[in-house]
Amino acid sequence: MIAAPAHGAPVPQGDYVPARRSGKLIVTAGMTPRIDGRLAYPGPVRSDAAVEQNHEAVVLACSNALRAARSLLQPGEELDAILSMTVYIAAEPGFTAHSRLADAASAFLRQELGDAGICSRAAVGVASLPGGAPVEIQLMAAVR
C-alpha cells in the first residue's frame, strides 16, 4: 500500500482550504487519493474489477481527509468522533458495490480511531471526479 505523509494537511488542488473549523466541529474538503498533490490512483472504478482492487485508493483518500481534520487540532486536543463521511465514487456504468467500497474507508477510520471512527456515511456514485480520481472523501468531525 502507498503511504501518505504522516503530518500536515494535504495540498489543495484549487482555491479552497483542506479543512475548516468552527468551535468543536471540523469539516474537510473532499480528498482524493493523492500524495504530495499527485494522483496516486487513476479512475474510474471499473465495473468488472474486484472491489478490493480499489481499497488502497479509498484508504489513501480517507487518510488525506483525516490528516486535514487533524491539522486543525490544537495542542492537547484530539478528535472526539467522526460524525459523518461522504464517499464519492467515480465508477463505470454497471458498478453497484458503492457501499462495499466505502467499507474500506470505514474500516480505516475504525482502525485509526477505534469507536470514535464509527460514523454515519453516504456512498455516492458520480460520473467523474477532479483530476480523474476514482474516489473522493469528505469528513465531518467533532473535537474533544
pTM, whole model, 2 decimals?
Answer: 0.93
Cell numbers given for 82 = 467522526
Can you say whether residue 114 is alpha, beta or left, with left for phi > 0 and alpha for psi between -120 and 50 degrees?
left
CATH class of 19-143: alpha beta
Question: Per residue in 66-122, pLDDT tens?
Answer: 999 999 999 999 999 999 999 999 999 999 999 999 999 999 999 999 999 999 999
Question: Per residue in 22-50, pLDDT tens?
Answer: 999 999 999 999 999 999 999 999 999 99
- The DSSP call for residue 144 is -
Can you say whether residue 111 is alpha, beta or left, with left for phi > 0 and alpha for psi between -120 and 50 degrees?
alpha
The ranges assigned to domains in the chain are: 19-143
